[in-house]
Chain A
């Protein structure tokens, strides 16, 4: 039976069909749906949200060493966090099959950098498969387990946004349980204990394995040669193949299902069959560099195909046709239209917090989550974003660098999920090294930006079973923070007072936002005084101060006029009652009491 599936769902399905029993992940776009799909649809698989990617790989590898087929999934930058265990697992190998899914994000739809994960395969010396559509996502996942067990290695399945988030038909098959018996063997210690004496032995195993994998790649049934026009042959993989095939259906193709190691014999064969070779790949010249290093001539590659952002059929066509490319005529200049950047929701608790921080003139070392949007106008109150947890250490470093000068000016801000991901470790550092920085945890009771995933602070597992819940105050105390304050971010005055006090303090402090769940979260709802607010046009002077908070429910309307008591104005603001959540933040900032409870 065929079903339309998203690439991510197809990977989950592939894991299930392959007999996987353990899966762990930390949410990250575009990979997040994989674990959710597993949790929702495949009860045979134990599934968990890990606090970060490193932990997810460690959990999965433990299961693999015990003989279970397992999966860890993450986005490209998550692999940077997981790199530590991963690089060494390439040495120890596994017992039960281990597939690590890494989802790249070319064109950075929602990430802090654009990196090509194919480099990890070469770096760690492990095989990498790259599917192009949902059917391949499922097939390659399954074959990943075969390769993993056959060669005793973790296998990377690399997707990217257009594969992870595209839907196409998938043929469903049954689940087959793994034949590997579960159990741990103490005699295997030399394989798994990576002390230098053992490492040197495993080092040889790794090289030997790459040789064998290279030979296997030549027989791999998903490395496919398609000979059409013998003049032009394209070497490509994944979604790049689909774009190219779409615009140049008559070229010849060598489509690689396994992008590392490369099938050397097949490549030699392809070069015999076609006159000129073009390499079409997204991001780095990964295949191009390797193929050139084998001594082949590449007619076209990164000389014409961009090495940054996403490819699409138009870019491929344009790049390869050069001047001959004819584009359709633009009817309007799309650049003239107003952009529609995402915004924090109406009623979001991050908005008053960042408004308060802006009023205080704080330099905010930030993090990644919905609140990163506070860097956009009108708030413009978040000043760095590097990676999860980084802000906490950065704020500490900045204060160390500036000494007393830094006091009263600096905070680190991060979400609850990011705090647990990797904010606790630098917080320990702040305390241990006698720092003075302030860390604010915007606890919205969920992992917001990636679409509401649970974490150790929410009280629920991925399958919505109630579980132990972290208490941030106790955690802060345990780490050694002496000054822990709880605030209601919707109370702007109080928030400003507390934050100022803690920024001024020459000691580490932790500020926890309470009773401020994500407004989209159905489970926990904050009760506001009124359902909606409205503008009293008798009083509104059109000073635009309430626009500074950037609530999507508030808009400006031109139109000269005057208030009841005779103040002239150029227009008034307007609150869209369908959007207003009643958070009262705008009413707090209006000096003229022109924002009142009620709907109009």
Chain B
């Protein structure tokens, strides 16, 4: 539910190449069209790929800062397990979380000098109880024919947190931001995800 008297804070995290920024662009389009003020800021590592990517996304009647205050995240959408855990401290106690069940190993883990965290799901359940949803975005997207659409599957699931927004609003945004040849796949991906929560 959207509280219109305050700013809603959404944090997205993932690894370069996963489509984190596209997902946040779709959200921005949806909420701008719905008449909200929106602010969004993203950070990515130095190289083209492989580094972590985060996006701060905020909407409300009037939004000042493009960055969310530490501990003030209402919704976390993460495209990778470790990148979800990295931001667990940012989420409010009553926050809602959607995580993609994918492990992308950082270089230290590849080299065998660092350990990939275990039981990410459990850690989240411990603090957020039923407010955590872990989905296998790749698998669902693979069934639709292209794992590239995993980000939109996740977004579909995430869209349920905003019952005020209609399905068509998301579909319109997807169509505005993606090339026509990708529309069918991503619209399907959105519906697939939307069914899950």
Residues of A within 8 A of B (CB): 2, 4, 29, 109-110, 133, 161-162, 165-169, 239, 241-243, 245-247, 249, 312-314, 317, 327-328, 330-332, 334, 337-345, 370, 372-373, 376-378, 448-449, 451, 520, 544, 547, 550, 552, 554-556, 558
Choose the segment among B38-46, B154-162, B182-190 that binds chain A (4+ C-beta atoms closer than 8 Å).
Answer: B38-46
Inter-chain pairs besides A313-B65, A337-B82, A554-B110, 15 sampled, C-beta below 8 Å: A133-B39, A165-B41, A246-B69, A312-B69, A312-B70, A327-B70, A334-B89, A338-B109, A338-B115, A340-B52, A340-B83, A343-B47, A344-B47, A370-B47, A449-B47
Docked complex Cα distance between A240 and B41 (Å): 14
Residues from chain A with a CB closer than 8 A to the CB of B106 are: 338-341
Q: Are A342 and B41 in contact (CB under 8 A)?
A: no
Which residues from chain B sit less than 8 Å from chain A, CB to CB?
15-16, 25, 28-29, 32, 37-43, 45-52, 63-71, 82-83, 85-89, 92, 105-117, 123, 127
Contacts of A337 in B (CB 8 A): 82, 85-86, 117
Chain B residues closer than 8 Å to A29, beta-carbon distance: 46
Query: Do A133 and B89 touch (CB < 8 A)?
Result: no
Contact residue among A4, A312, A554 (Cβ-Cβ distance under 8 Å from B67) = A312
Contact B89 A342 (CB under 8 A): no
Beta-carbon contact of A341 and B123 below 8 Å: no
Chain B residues near A372: list those with CB within 8 A. Answer: 46
Interface centre among A341, A520, A550 (most CB of B within 10 A): A341
Residue from the list B48, B107, B109, B116 in contact with A448, Cβ < 8 A = B48
The answer to whether A341 and B107 touch (CB under 8 A), given A166-B66, A327-B70, A547-B112, is: yes
How far apart are the CA atoms of A350 and B127 in the complex, in Å? 44
Option from B92, B110, B117 in Cβ contact (under 8 Å) with A547: B110
B67 with A328: CB separation less than 8 A: no
B86 contacts A167, C-beta separation under 8 Å: no
Are B49 and A345 in touch, CB under 8 angstroms? Answer: yes
- Cα A340 to Cα B18 in complex, Å, equals 14
Contacts of B92 in A (CB 8 A): 328
Q: In the complex, are the beta carbons of B64 and A332 less than 8 A apart?
A: no
**Least distance between A38 CB and chain B CB atoms (Å):** 20
Measured CB to CB, the closest approach of chain B to A439, in angstroms, equals: 23
| Residue from A241, A242, A372 with most neighbouring chain B CB atoms (10 Å) | A242
A4 and B38 within 8 A (CB): yes
- Cross-chain contact of A243 among B28, B63, B67 (Cβ < 8 A): B67
Distance between Cα atoms of A339 and B41 in the complex (Å): 21
Question: Are A338 and B108 in touch, CB under 8 angstroms?
Answer: yes
List, in ascending order, chain B residues with CB within 8 A of A552's CB. Answer: 50, 107, 110
- Shortest distance in angstroms between A181's beta carbon and chain B's nearest beta carbon? 40
Residues of B within 8 A of A343 (CB): 47, 49-51, 107
Which of B68, B69, B88, B109 lies at the interface centre, i.e. has the most chain A CB atoms within 10 A of its CB? Answer: B69
Query: Whole-angstrom distance from the CB of A517 to the nearest CB of chain B?
Result: 13
A-B contact pairs, 11 of them (CB 8 A): A4-B28, A166-B40, A168-B63, A317-B69, A340-B15, A341-B107, A342-B50, A345-B50, A370-B48, A373-B47, A520-B48
Query: Is there contact, CB below 8 Å, between B38 and A168?
Result: yes
Residues of B within 8 A of A165 (CB): 41-43
Query: Do the beta carbons of A328 and B70 come within 8 Å of each other?
Result: yes
Residues of B within 8 A of A2 (CB): 32
**Chain A residues in 8 Å Cβ range of B116:** 338
Please state if A314 and B70 are interface contacts (CB–CB under 8 Å). Answer: yes
A196 to B92 alpha-carbon distance, docked (Å): 64
Using Cβ atoms and an 8 Å threshold, which residues of chain A touch B114? 338-339
**What are the 7 closest A-B residue pairs judged by CB atoms, nearest first?**
A328-B71, A342-B51, A342-B47, A342-B45, A338-B114, A246-B65, A166-B66
| Docked pose: A247 CA to B41 CA in angstroms | 18
Q: Is the CB of A555 within 8 A of B109?
A: yes
A contact residues around B86 at 8 Å (CB): 334, 337
- Whether A331 pairs with B46 at a CB distance below 8 angstroms is no
Cβ-defined contact, A332 with B88, below 8 A: yes
For residue A377, which residues in chain B have a CB less than 8 angstroms away from its CB? 107, 111, 113
Q: Specify the chain A residue showing the minimal Cβ separation from B70.
A: A314
Cα–Cα distance between A241 and B67 once the two chains are bound (Å): 12
CA distance A372 to B28 in the complex (A): 34
Q: How far is it, in angstroms, between the C-alpha of A267 and the C-alpha of B108 when the chains are bound?
A: 52
Distance in Å: Cβ of A341 to nearest Cβ of chain B? 6
Question: What residues of A have a CB within 8 angstroms of the CB of B43 in the complex?
Answer: 109, 161, 165
Complex CA–CA separation, A552 to B110 (angstroms) = 7
A332 pairs with B89, CB closer than 8 A: yes
A378 to B113, CA, bound (A): 11
Nearest neighbor of B89 in chain A, beta-carbon distance? A330
Question: What residues of chain B lie closer than 8 Å to A314, measured between beta carbons?
Answer: 69-71
Per a CB cutoff under 8 Å, which of B83, B89, B112 touches A556? B112
- How far, in Å, is A445 (CB) from chain B's closest CB? 14
Q: Which of A242, A245, A370, A378 contacts B66 (CB 8 A)?
A: A242
Evaluate contact between B107 and A449: CB separation under 8 angstroms.
no
Instruction: Out of A109, A167, A169, A245, name the residue touching B64 (CB < 8 Å).
Output: A245
Give chain B residues whose Cβ lies under 8 Å from the Cβ of A378: 111
Q: Which residues of the other chain, A, contact B71 by a CB distance below 8 angstroms?
A: 314, 327-328
B197 to chain A, nearest CB (A): 23
Contacts of B109 in A (CB 8 A): 338, 555
A370 to B49 alpha-carbon distance, docked (Å)? 10
A334 to B109, CA, bound (A): 16
Smallest CB gap from A245: residue in B? B64
Partner of A167, one of B28, B46, B113: B28
Closest to B123 in A: A332
